[in-house]
Structure 1
Amino acid sequence: MRALEERRSRWPRRIAWLVLFAVLASGAYLVGGFARFASDVAALSAPPTAAHADGIVVLTGGEQRLRKAIGLLREGEGRRLLISGVNRDTSAGAIARATGTEMALIDCCVDLDYEAMDTIGNAEATARWAKEHGFARLLLVTSDYHIPRSLLEMSGVSDPPAIVPYPVSPEKLWRRDGWPTRLGLRLLVTEYAKVLVVKARLATGVDLSTLSGSTHHRVAERSD
């Protein structure tokens, strides 16, 4: 009888140890995964000039991205530029003034997407735009920390074009020694959580976008 009671008393302890082990293992996995994510983001660099593409797409969120994308268009790195996720209150003229771009170039070669509300929408709009223009290869301009999630979302749309990432590194997010600032670290942690949600959604087919905290990238934002 006593032996039976002793065996029964061990089960709660065993379960507690198993739970503790699972928590520690999950924590180690998340920490290791974040370290790899942050390292991959820090190692991102702009492709060489030879990476000419059919078109260019920029995911809005700040003038730095827009200026870089328009500069690539001027340099002939793509025939047209799609600005995806533009605020409905932002006109083509406002973009021209904000980036110091002549309206002739905007009217000629720049398309504005007002429909995309998040990165999923950006990916869908990009795929439609590429198909409409017969573009098979695109330069994707967005902030460096946003590149991994953008590529994941692009892989989830039907018949996606080939994507060449063109990262833009926000100055306030990185120190000169290559380490993230406090703001940059917080943003990287948030973005890593979003990447995990996207991976889970793509793997299971379950829409977890409401848990990802995805935000609408807008021209009016200046932080990234």
Structure 2
Amino acid sequence: MIRRLMAFVLLAWLGGFVWFAGVLPQPNLAAKGDAVVVPTGSGGRISRGLDLLRSGAVERMLVTGVDASVKEKEFEAEYRVEPQLMECCITLGYIAVDTRGNALETADWVATHKHGSLVLVTADWHMRRAALELAAQLPPGIVIVRDAVRSQASLWTFFLEYNKFLVAYVVAPFR
């Protein structure tokens, strides 16, 4: 009986892993919202967030999880951001150090700015957990539009992220 249960759990985990790694969230070319939230991490995220801001699909941008050593002028130079755009519309968040921290930092920022909808821009492999953590921290009624950035993640990255996602999924109702 115990062997069958263990085999079932292993097969369920394996099937979930195949789904997780094989059916990735996709870019959303029609993404629109009040603001865009971009957790720092793998390449392409900040550029995609800036594209949404510059195109008028969103009005404001939060980059969450920025290293404390990064200065606004360095960010402007690195991403070729116009000073007036930086001043009016971009917030660099320095508090978060992980995905849950990104969600908490975002929830505080949303409460301050009274946004009703967010575009979440993150890597395809990170999207499910980032959206789950964010939804757990935001008040009811805030719309989260997912816009995944394609990546070239390793099997090890998928393995780690899948297990983190499972833990977050199990723990989410208790937060």
Indicate conservation of the 8 Å contact 2:32/2:145, yes or no: no
Q: What percent identity do the matched residue pairs reach?
A: 32
Deviates more, 1:99-108 or 1:185-194: 99-108
Q: Which residue number in structure 2 is paired with residue 46 of structure 1?
A: 27
Tell whether 2:76 aligns with 1:96: yes
Q: Which residue number in structure 2 is paired with residue 185 of structure 1?
A: 155
For structure 1, the residue ranges without an aligned partner over 5 or more in a row are 1-17, 174-183, 207-224
CA-atom RMSD, angstroms? Answer: 1.6
Deviates more, 1:81-90 or 1:128-137: 128-137
In the TM superposition, what whole-angstrom CA distance separates every residue of 1:87-144 from its partner, at most 9, and x where no partner exists?
0001111112221222222122100111112111111111221221121011101101
2:125 counterpart SS class: helix
Off by >4 Å, runs of 4+ in structure 1 = none
For structure 2, the residue ranges without an aligned partner over 5 or more in a row are none
CA distance in 1, matches of 2:12, 2:42: 33
Indicate conservation of the 8 Å contact 1:63/1:98, yes or no: no
CA distance in 2, matches of 1:157, 1:104: 31
TM-score (norm 1): 0.73
Indicate conservation of the 8 Å contact 2:27/2:150, yes or no: no
Tell whether 2:62 aligns with 1:82: yes
Tell whether 2:146 aligns with 1:165: yes
> With CA pairs under 8 Å and 6+ residues apart, which has the higher RCO, 1 or 2?
2
Deviation at 1:158, TM superposition (A): 4.5
In the TM superposition, what whole-angstrom CA distance separates every residue of 1:27-54 from its partner, at most 9, and x where no partner exists?
101001111212331xx222243x3211
2:9 counterpart SS class: helix
CA distance in 2, matches of 1:132, 1:166: 23
Indicate conservation of the 8 Å contact 2:118/2:144, yes or no: yes
Indicate conservation of the 8 Å contact 1:63/1:99, yes or no: no
In the TM superposition, what whole-angstrom CA distance separates every residue of 1:169-191 from its partner, at most 9, and x where no partner exists?
12x33xxxxxxxxxx22111110
| Alignment size in residue pairs | 174
Query: What one-letter code is carried by the residue in structure 1 that aligns with 2:18?
Result: A
Query: What one-letter code is carried by the residue in structure 2 that aligns with 1:47?
Result: N
2:120 counterpart SS class: strand
Among candidates 183, 196, 213, match of residue 166 of structure 2:
196
